[in-house]
Structure 1
């Protein structure tokens, strides 16, 4: 079959730090606007940590639960003092995060080149569908594949096997596209090809002896190489 590109969503297509401006407003009302960038970074890091821990424990919960628990933890760790209303609002904002500026154009180019694209996420199918729709890029994807269907989280090998099963594809025909090094390593370990979207030139790749097949700076560069 033809090559299929399976795009990670959070951090790859969707800018998880798009919440910073809202954090600045909410924290600004508490006189702590300067905490916003650090709050956003810690929230994202803890969200992923909680998914890893739940995976190891065999205690799966939908990704939104990890996100909410990470928000509460970060609020406590930074002593930010957010109210329940603030946290509820921030969770709603997280469901409406923007796509990276180049995402739509790159996806359009890939589609014109005849490349099949799917979204492949730790989020539930419903959450991802809504996120991609409001970001204006849902129409570029042939399908949405969620780890929720197997109740595991990336980088569990079972989720990459599930992706191949859903796509009815061979590992050599399937590319994982992600800005998350752990996801790239997980996909390569499972026998898939993988491209790392290295959005920050300072970002190091994990020294595990498993390298991406391709490293690009953004999705435009990806479309040029794989389109």
Structure 2
């Protein structure tokens, strides 16, 4: 049984595509059909910008990567969003919903005596807000943010900071993430890792580093670990 489960937040606990309905309402005419594509590209660019800033040593709050990615996607898809639209979408991003099984699965882990922490590239304030609005903040003993070391996952320093904050050994710590880059980063840093493969179409990166476990959702993870 895992000693500590460190849960990634965006895409793992919280559905980043929960913004699609708001995009549909703000994309005019036939462009509303592009909402899901827009959401995916926005998310991909958000991560790309965090990776690039990590390589440059030019840290900013994760929300700045999110806003810049929104600006880029609007330009790339020529959707013509107004500044008010962009402000509204950024507000929506701060209120994204949790995936359906998350709350009950986290309750199962807690009842089994497993320590759960939230572990994110997002700022502590942003993550606390997301967990509060999803009514799952009380499921976590800690929120550990990459902002505390001014780096972004998958930088090894972020995983080292997690271990330092929690005072745990790598082998006693599991990362739980739907993001392959995060799983690979954690395994590279000596942690165990479970990949939440929320889409059956999602391939894992062929880096020669594999997750310890691959499951469809957090209920399936609980079935394996409890």
Once residues 188 and 24 of structure 1 are traced to their aligned partners in structure 2, the CA distance between those partners, rounded to angstroms, is 38
Provide the TM-score with structure 1 as the length reference: 0.98
Aligned to 2:176: 177
Query: 1:32, CA displacement in angstroms?
Result: 1.7
Query: 1:31, CA displacement in angstroms?
Result: 4.7
Aligned to 1:120: 119
Aligned to 2:69: 70
- Cα RMSD of the aligned pairs, angstroms, is 1.1
Aligned to 1:14: 14
Per-residue CA shift, 1:15-68, capped at 9, x if unaligned? 00000001000114x552111011000000000000000000000001000000
Give the number of equivalent residue pairs. 226
Provide the TM-score with structure 2 as the length reference: 0.98
Once residues 37 and 200 of structure 2 are traced to their aligned partners in structure 1, the CA distance between those partners, rounded to angstroms, is 19
Q: Secondary structure at the match of 1:32?
A: helix
Once residues 39 and 223 of structure 2 are traced to their aligned partners in structure 1, the CA distance between those partners, rounded to angstroms, is 31
Q: Matches of residues 101-112 of structure 1 in structure 2 within 5 Å?
A: 101-112=100-111
Is 1:5 matched with 2:5? yes
Aligned to 2:186: 187
Once residues 31 and 186 of structure 1 are traced to their aligned partners in structure 2, the CA distance between those partners, rounded to angstroms, is 40
Once residues 50 and 66 of structure 2 are traced to their aligned partners in structure 1, the CA distance between those partners, rounded to angstroms, is 9
Query: 1:134, CA displacement in angstroms?
Result: 0.3
Aligned to 2:212: 213
Aligned to 2:167: 168
Aligned to 1:148: 147
Q: Secondary structure at the match of 2:176?
A: strand
Aligned to 1:48: 47
Unmatched 5+ stretches in structure 1: none
Query: 1:202, CA displacement in angstroms?
Result: 1.0
Query: 1:178, CA displacement in angstroms?
Result: 0.1
Runs of 4+ more than 4 Å apart:
none
